[in-house]
A and B are shown apart, each in its own frame.
Chain A
Amino acid sequence: MAVAIRQLTYAQAINEAMRLEMRRDPRVILMGEDVAGGATIDHLADDEAWGGVLGVTKGLVQEFGRTRVLDTPITEAGFVGAAVGAATTGLRPIAELMFVDFFGVCWDMIFDQGAKLRYMFGGKASCPLVIRTMIGAGMGAAGQHSGCHYSVFTHMPGIKTVVPSTPADAKGLLTAAIRDDDLVVVFENKMLYSMSGEVPEGEYVLPLGKADIKREGNDVTIVAISRMVHQALAAAEMLEAEGISAEIVDPRTLSPLDEETILNSVAKTHRLVIVDEDNPRCSVATDIAALAADKAFTELDAPIKLVTAPHTPVPFSPPLEQFYIPSPERIVATVLQLMG
């Protein structure tokens, strides 16, 4: 029962979700590259184990031991495949794909195996696997460590995709993902790990497939994904000074998508802007735009606008990297353009 509320970082909230679920259900295990850290290296005894490349999983191996917190070899195809197998044969594993950009290496295991087992075995098999993975630019990690790519996963039937934007959302959504009997991929924006927020204590679940309105408004609906929620909130403050009231919808889950909340918001404001850090071709942004153009056509008082990254890899050069990420200023300029 969630009772008190205190401040945790996004990373701590994710850590707590896993800790509580691993206590609750012995079938939940964690596996990935250095998720415990320092496996087979003597001077890195468990007390010193660093718990993940950014320390998100620190402390778990101390409590649950190395049979439940597993450092894997550097082979995504191998350990993600093993995780799919483990899930199908009775465990409830959490596999960490360190950077989403590596998904190409294990994509067959995810989309062609894990995502399709339940369907192709007529429901006799299931794959209650959670894949946690880091996304997002801004850390100067360059082209192979900074992408988002949830659009590719969202496209595949059989994969649920989750994009928490706050510490409280991260804990509740990850808990829901672990308890879900299907393959769920949770995309954690690395720039959010140090963000603090109020997080309820104890176990709680935020339902998958339910959006959250992060700010109410009347003049324009801004659907923003993951870290872009915060860019949009900053833009909303600037727009308020211009007398424009923006409503910010955080989908929280991309597949399944909460269409109703988005469409109701568009029916209220009659204008739609979608802010997405992912590349724009065949993306979640274009998907949501098509939804609105189809189901909210007569509610639209202006064209649907997308504020996204460009169709390029993430630059290494710091000013170019900042230009790549949708900024509050760009969001404001787009809304002002819509208002005429």
Chain B
Amino acid sequence: MATILSMPKWGLSMKTGMVVEWLKRPGDQVQEGEPIVEIESEKATNEVDAPATGMLRSIVVHDGESAAVSEPIAVIAAPGEELSDEQVEALLREDAEQRRKKAEALLKPRAAAPAEVAASQAVSRRPASSAGGRINASPAARRLAQELGVDLSTIVGTGPGGMIGREDVLQAAAQEGTAEAEEKTLAVDGVNIHYLVAGPASAPHIVFLHGLGGSLSTWSLNLPVFAEHFRICALDMVGAGASDKPSTDYSIPAQAEFLARFLDALGPDWRSVSLVGHSLGGAVALAFAQRYPERVERLALVDSAGLGPEIDSTVLDLMRSEPKPEHIRAELTLFFAHPGMVQEVLVEQILQQRWQPGAREALLATSEAAFGEGRQQNDFREMLAGWTKPLLILWGDVDAVIPVAHARAAGQGRVEVFAGCGHCPHIERAEAFNQTLLSFLSEGVPSR
């Protein structure tokens, strides 16, 4: 079976990408996971790996040309498969047809889906709104509809007397374009937190926590994938990104408490979540899990703090120094194994963030609280020894910031180490990272 390589989607706002350079020529053999093309989006330039092993049969979008996200850019024939030009054309037409159908399905009116459910149950339902215009919906359904931005008047209820219940609202919300993200700000105890939510409301809820000096954009290569299957939230932690940077306690336990209040403010659907934490975000996830184990379903730690005392002091010194391009470049060089990952557009982005009012002070305070005296101030190994819920630990084997030995420190859980990768596998090995994390989060069906 041939495989179509499509224009990837990086970050929830990416609409088109440009092919910078094909690293392979038609006729070349390719291996799954081998870089095959360099793509440039508005925000980043990255190599894309071949999705399958075989022969690069046909290039659809050439060097310098652009295409919309999810459009085909090449065709890879399976090993030993021979494809005529007509067959390649047929494949591309079929792919276009499938994408068209999928787009149409998203545009269908919401009322159609619940009606299908009702039909399959062979029961006739009255429309939800009475002659007087008042909609017959339960209090819980009304609140949920408001939280999720669902229009009650478009829903057919399946409750007694045609009443709209919570399940009806959840189903309606799930029909909507699931990958569309909402970027919002929420005030928690007077502190504004900038965050993203996306994904089907009825799916398990996953929260992504970035590391020291980072922001929610660290997850741009990951969120689109997870937003297709889960209800995701990525936030700029207090003191970081576009969130407020008050003068406050930035220690790990305090940040975990703040996270709890943020989730409380998001709503009761965020009462019980899975956490994905990178670096310092991992330590915050651990502190939260220690304090509120009943609120955590699964724990995924990525090159996480909190699993041992060691932390690289050079990186911390660079973070604490005056924000200058050369300092940030040096900092990023320590974060990634491949020097090619240190791109100017990324340096520019980080530079802007570090110059925001209060940003540097907050970064210093956080660094001091979590990694003062050049060593990690929080140790969750003992807590993890007693952790019985699903645990995934991901690490880059040449992590220069926190040593890969810490990955085994938990003594349990699933551990995956990415070869030739630095402190940020979620960026440096995005596709493999996404697949591993996706399979971990999808194991079984957590009850909600």
Interface residues of A (CB under 8 A from B): 218, 267, 270, 297-302, 337-338, 340
Contacts and interface: CB of A to CB of B under 8 A. Distances in A.
Contact of A270 (B158, B160, B166): B166
Contact of B140 (A300, A337, A340): A300
B204 to A, nearest CB: 16
A297 B268 contact: no
Size category of the binding interface on chain B: 10 to 19
B158 A298 contact: no
A301 B170 CA distance: 13
21 contacts: A270-B140, A297-B139, A298-B139, A298-B142, A298-B143, A299-B139, A300-B139, A301-B138, A301-B139, A301-B140, A301-B141, A301-B159, A301-B165, A302-B138, A302-B159, A302-B163, A337-B160, A338-B160, A340-B159, A340-B160, A340-B165
A301 B268 CA distance: 15
Contacts of B159: 301-302, 340
Contacts of A302: 138, 159-160, 163, 165
B138 A300 contact: yes
Contacts of B165: 301-302, 340
A270 B142 CA distance: 13
A339 B138 CA distance: 13
Nearest to A270: B140
Contacts, number: 33
A298 B160 contact: no
A67 to B, nearest CB: 53
A288 B231 CA distance: 35
Contacts of A267: 268
Contacts of B141: 301
Nearest to B158: A340
Interface string B161-175: 001011000000000
Contact of A299 (B140, B160, B163): B140
A74 to B, nearest CB: 52
A301 B141 CA distance: 7
Nearest to A293: B139
Contacts of A340: 158-160, 163, 165
A270 B166 CA distance: 9
**Top 3 closest A-B pairs, CB basis?**
A298-B143, A340-B159, A340-B160
Nearest to A302: B138
Contacts of B140: 270, 298-301
Contacts of A338: 160
Interface of B: 138-143, 158-160, 163, 165-166, 268, 447
A221 to B, nearest CB: 13
Contacts of B268: 267
B166 to A, nearest CB: 5
A99 to B, nearest CB: 40
Given A302-B165, A340-B159, 15 more contacts: A218-B447, A267-B268, A270-B140, A298-B142, A300-B138, A301-B140, A301-B141, A301-B159, A301-B166, A302-B138, A302-B159, A302-B160, A337-B160, A340-B158, A340-B165
A165 to B, nearest CB: 27
A298 B158 CA distance: 18
A296 to B, nearest CB: 9
Contacts of B143: 298
A270 B160 CA distance: 15
**Which of A218, A298, A299 has the most CB atoms of chain B within a 10 A radius of its CB?**
A298
**Which of B139, B143, B159, B447 has the most CB atoms of chain A within a 10 A radius of its CB?**
B139
Contacts of B142: 298
A338 B165 CA distance: 11
A340 B142 CA distance: 18
Contacts of B158: 340
A340 B161 CA distance: 8
A339 to B, nearest CB: 8
Contacts of A301: 138-141, 159, 165-166
Nearest to B160: A340
A338 B138 CA distance: 12
Contacts of B447: 218
Contacts of A297: 139
Contacts of B138: 300-302
A128 B20 CA distance: 86
Nearest to B271: A267
Contacts of B160: 302, 337-338, 340
Contacts of A299: 139-140
Nearest to B447: A218
B114 to A, nearest CB: 13
B155 to A, nearest CB: 14
A16 to B, nearest CB: 36
Contacts of B166: 270, 301
Contacts of B139: 297-301
Nearest to B167: A301
A96 B142 CA distance: 51
A28 B159 CA distance: 55
Nearest to B159: A340
A298 B166 CA distance: 11
A270 B163 CA distance: 14
B161 to A, nearest CB: 8
A45 B278 CA distance: 81
B334 to A, nearest CB: 47
Contacts of A218: 447
A340 B137 CA distance: 13
A337 B166 CA distance: 17
A298 B143 CA distance: 6
A207 B271 CA distance: 29
Nearest to A337: B160
A297 B268 CA distance: 14
A113 B139 CA distance: 44
A198 B159 CA distance: 41
Contacts of A337: 160
A301 B165 CA distance: 6
A340 B128 CA distance: 14
A202 to B, nearest CB: 31
Nearest to A298: B143
A240 to B, nearest CB: 16
Nearest to B137: A301
B9 to A, nearest CB: 36
Nearest to B125: A340
A337 B160 CA distance: 8
Contacts of A298: 139-140, 142-143
Contacts of A300: 138-140
Contacts of B163: 302, 340
A244 B139 CA distance: 21
